[in-house]
Structure 1
């Protein structure tokens, strides 16, 4: 079994190789982990696709996709669209009612409706159909609420008024200098619609703004100030969630970059930090699209290699979002059904090629076959259960574990673009519970082709060699397990955020109401954005005790980006935490950039 790169028997040689390896993950079947109050893996939250149960495209594949693979429906462009027909006239409420009657009947006729209709669903609209300048937003809100109350036989839980609106701000004015005013007007519409919908449809949550390319550090965080901060200042009080799109590559505009890893952590932590500063609570996220995109992909021949790049991105980002179940409502990989509309786009797709992110593509004879994107759901098939304690000593090695009756699932991902040897250290005799292991491995070959392979009837795993971007899932058949311990993770926030860095000047962050712990782990999560030639290793003290800052962070070095922006996780000794108020001071040896957020993460073992 050498080709598996797995040590399956314990010998002097294998023991030495495990000791010599730098990367180690620890796994404890007997300890149940909570993040906030969340322990059970919610598959509706994490394993949806960007498609609707009202779509007929995948009806013939329903048993396999939605039952066997456990895929859920996640999002559609099926909102009220008050400006679909006219850019100057808002339809009357009577027209809205007539339209919704027809829409509701059409949805109920879908072959997927009876079995797969769900409330855990996001609806949105294209900006041009949802917003126009110099309109009465109260009338728009009345129309939207009337539509939403009647168009869906099962009312969706989540409503994004517009999809990626701010990248379209220029569509409404002559110059870029005028777009900040458009962004404010779009935000006002969001607030007006949210207030109306929340008053008339209590079970629906309105949020936004569905940021297309959250390059928040651009222009020394001027991009943050004029986009998400502006939105939160104008509309945030009325939002039930904040929506962000996370893509490796280049989404619409901005620099080509990889958001998976420390960069996306920095974006989401900044939103959380400002939410806490404004309202004293962290409003949850909806990641209504994530994956990989770039210029020049649309209207080109189908590419298995592009599928492979997307699959790697989905898994990297998913593994990060699995760390946030207590402050994440839904995360949707951008995988669509057949996108039949794209074949009719003669201008953008004159050769009739498939849309790059479909799960089924049209062949020359008119039939449809599955693309490799199906492998994302095949890899994660059946993964569920209560979270167990796992840990990694390298932020590039992501790990999660879940336990249910008769099964334990261990997922490990390599964020790095290098091969990684990883030792698996099972605690509290966890290996004694294992009867059999099926190993799933998803990676790309040297030519970029995606491969999902299975190895069955393995008895143990002591170490793995991960390819760049590879994800493995070990499905362990186990004897009955009882949890003997708990691990409870909580995040603590401060009123201070986005502080400019000045040479040798301490930046102070005061945290209140922290509970000191006697057994467990703790980290400082420091978000920092600054030029690549500037230090990322400040002097940090916690309650006067100096904390060592590592040289590593999750993901790549970001040198392809204009500047570094991301979160650096800094382990701290739990003895330095005290009950009540704790003070973190950060001092850099040079000036420039910002500390965007500081969060203290505590895992308490009970």
Structure 2
């Protein structure tokens, strides 16, 4: 997928072929835990890229926050020591003065009384947060003094800078000097984090807000010179690692899909390296995700672009819902009115910002964009996670139940329509009294649609269009869970292992807990060119297992190489309690095994 036009075209073509063999199993009688998490945290997953001090959203608060259930996510309202209005005064006295002024602005904002929240990310643009060769300690002292008094409700998360490394070249006169900037920015993160943790214990500090996590590019050079450098220098002091996941092209890199196996490989590598270094998986903060590309800003409002964005939001969200135990927050990049953009130099004709919830009409009034369909689709979903599984990684499924309500979310990552059989396990079918289906898709002209079908109690199969997301809202007989299933992920001690032909790569996975009832999957992250094999001989504790030819999302042929996770089903009797050995042997040389994770689901009656 080398260009924006081809990406759009995929959603405009009506494809007639679909698979007949997709089955999704749902068991409303079994509660599922991922780690220790079962209840859906809506603040974690359904925020917008805005803050409660944004008066742009004060006109219709009941609809936005009570009906749609929108939460707040992120603001460029950090200490910004080098921003213009700070006037270069780095004294603690100035920090306190400016902080108190900021706190008053927050208190006086129209949404403060009803919508204030601690579940907020603060950050700064690199130009406002950093200068090459600055006094780290003095700057960190300013930041701490500011944060202590700037927020009447202390935010939970502080990203020191937004997407800093793609701006490294802004601070030097040639690209070959950027490694020094990246190293220095990383060191600054560490010093700020250590000082904040010492003086403000109720705010978490992390970074580096990676804009370009194309880690496999140039034989994993981007990993080795960006994220690995950051984790090696600053990682011990970070309480989370922040990443931006975008389909399209965010700032640099190739045009591609992150949704599906590619984003899984990116995040699994971060988790695996964290485990390798510290024996723990530090959580993610996905402070932006969605769709972007060059040339979108300053263009007329496009419902078609809204449709492409909605598809990306839902695709990426469905993957992130798999990580509630190692994800602090995920913010779809949807802003409010973005009134600032109407005066931006990139926008001489006064068009709306491409990612707004509300756009300005010619008469000066504001109208909702199609992006509100993200929250319209998901607004009622809540409750505890229910056991569900799909036999096709392109068909994503999540199920939640709340007293007498059940919610089944299905998503199609495939490039064609997919017929899905719904298989209700145990007595689940008998619990269903009625159902309503909400379907979110783009029509043949690329316009986003959200369609409701009522009285769908007897739906046994459903065909999802390419890129479609469906939420089925079930009325259930009031019941209690009879069983539980717990999912855990276990990480190999090493990651990013070079592949050489016929040379076994050995991974050791410790502390695994398995049972005699459940499922197991080996998640194999691979980065290698398309002409090389994706089907090594895989042995788990000496037993060969079959590597499938399917994974979540597209085949990645538009990328320079494949970088994704291939899920390999494993029989439970191949898994030991304690230490497990995984052996991979490839028939050809080139690329890397980026990560190995053993995923288990253990059932308990």
| TM-score, scaled to structure 2 | 0.96
Quick one: which of 361, 366, 369 aligns to 1:368? 366
C-alpha separation between the residues in 1 aligned to 2:138 and 2:350? 40
Please state how far the C-alpha of 1:512 moved relative to its aligned partner: 1.3
Please state how far the C-alpha of 1:516 moved relative to its aligned partner: 2.6
Q: Relative to structure 1, is the Cα distance of residues 87 and 187 closer, same or farther in structure 2, using a 3 angstrom cutoff?
A: farther
C-alpha separation between the residues in 2 aligned to 1:90 and 1:467? 57
* Aligned position for 1:254: 253
Quick one: which of 396, 399, 404 aligns to 1:398? 396
* Aligned position for 2:115: 116
Deviation string 1:69-108 (CA, Å, 9 cap, x unpaired) is 1110000000000000289945211111111111111110
* Aligned position for 1:10: none
Q: Give the superposed CA RMSD.
A: 1.0
Answer yes or no: is the 8 Å Cα contact 1:137–1:192 preserved in 2: yes
* Aligned position for 1:485: 483
* Aligned position for 1:154: 153
C-alpha separation between the residues in 1 aligned to 2:541 and 2:475? 46
* Aligned position for 2:593: 595
Q: State the secondary structure of the residue aligned to 1:458.
A: coil
Please state how far the C-alpha of 1:21 moved relative to its aligned partner: 2.5
Alignment of 1:216-255 (within 5 A): 216-255=215-254
Deviation string 1:457-499 (CA, Å, 9 cap, x unpaired) is 2222100000011000000011112111101000001211100
Q: Relative to structure 1, is the Cα distance of residues 87 and 338 closer, same or farther in structure 2, using a 3 angstrom cutoff?
A: closer
Deviation string 1:369-407 (CA, Å, 9 cap, x unpaired) is 000000000000110000000000000000000001110
* Aligned position for 1:53: 52
Answer yes or no: is the 8 Å Cα contact 1:90–1:139 preserved in 2: no
Deviation string 1:422-457 (CA, Å, 9 cap, x unpaired) is 111000121111111111000001110000011112
Please state how far the C-alpha of 1:578 moved relative to its aligned partner: 1.2
Q: State the secondary structure of the residue aligned to 2:228.
A: helix
Answer yes or no: is the 8 Å Cα contact 1:88–1:132 preserved in 2: no
C-alpha separation between the residues in 2 aligned to 1:410 and 1:449? 24
C-alpha separation between the residues in 1 aligned to 2:410 and 2:115? 30
Alignment of 1:340-379 (within 5 A): 340-345=339-344, 347-379=345-377
C-alpha separation between the residues in 1 aligned to 2:548 and 2:197? 45
| Structure 1 runs, 4 residues or longer, greater than 3 Å off | 86-90
Q: State the secondary structure of the residue aligned to 2:257.
A: coil
Q: State the secondary structure of the residue aligned to 1:474.
A: strand
C-alpha separation between the residues in 2 aligned to 1:138 and 1:312? 44
Tell which deviates more after alignment, 76-85 or 89-98: 89-98
C-alpha separation between the residues in 2 aligned to 1:33 and 1:101? 45
Answer yes or no: is the 8 Å Cα contact 2:169–2:175 preserved in 1: yes
C-alpha separation between the residues in 2 aligned to 1:90 and 1:312? 46
| 1:516 and 2:529 aligned | no
C-alpha separation between the residues in 1 aligned to 2:182 and 2:314? 33
How many residue pairs get aligned? The number is: 586
Alignment of 1:403-418 (within 5 A): 403-418=401-416
C-alpha separation between the residues in 2 aligned to 1:567 and 1:388? 24
Answer yes or no: is the 8 Å Cα contact 1:431–1:460 preserved in 2: no
Alignment of 1:442-521 (within 5 A): 442-521=440-519
| TM-score, scaled to structure 1 | 0.96
C-alpha separation between the residues in 2 aligned to 1:432 and 1:243? 44
Answer yes or no: is the 8 Å Cα contact 1:26–1:424 preserved in 2: yes
| 1:163 and 2:162 aligned | yes
Answer yes or no: is the 8 Å Cα contact 2:31–2:485 preserved in 1: yes
C-alpha separation between the residues in 1 aligned to 2:33 and 2:458? 27
C-alpha separation between the residues in 2 aligned to 1:268 and 1:88? 39
* Aligned position for 1:212: 211
Deviation string 1:305-347 (CA, Å, 9 cap, x unpaired) is 00000000000000000000000000000000000000011x2
| 1:556 and 2:554 aligned | yes
Answer yes or no: is the 8 Å Cα contact 2:90–2:138 preserved in 1: no
Deviation string 1:215-257 (CA, Å, 9 cap, x unpaired) is 0001101110100000000000000000000000000010000
* Aligned position for 1:6: none
Answer yes or no: is the 8 Å Cα contact 2:20–2:418 preserved in 1: no
* Aligned position for 1:296: 295
Quick one: which of 548, 563, 569 aligns to 2:567? 569
C-alpha separation between the residues in 1 aligned to 2:514 and 2:138? 52
Q: Relative to structure 1, is the Cα distance of residues 499 and 87 closer, same or farther in structure 2, using a 3 angstrom cutoff?
A: farther
Q: Relative to structure 1, is the Cα distance of residues 86 and 115 closer, same or farther in structure 2, using a 3 angstrom cutoff?
A: closer
C-alpha separation between the residues in 1 aligned to 2:458 and 2:321? 25
Please state how far the C-alpha of 1:212 moved relative to its aligned partner: 0.3
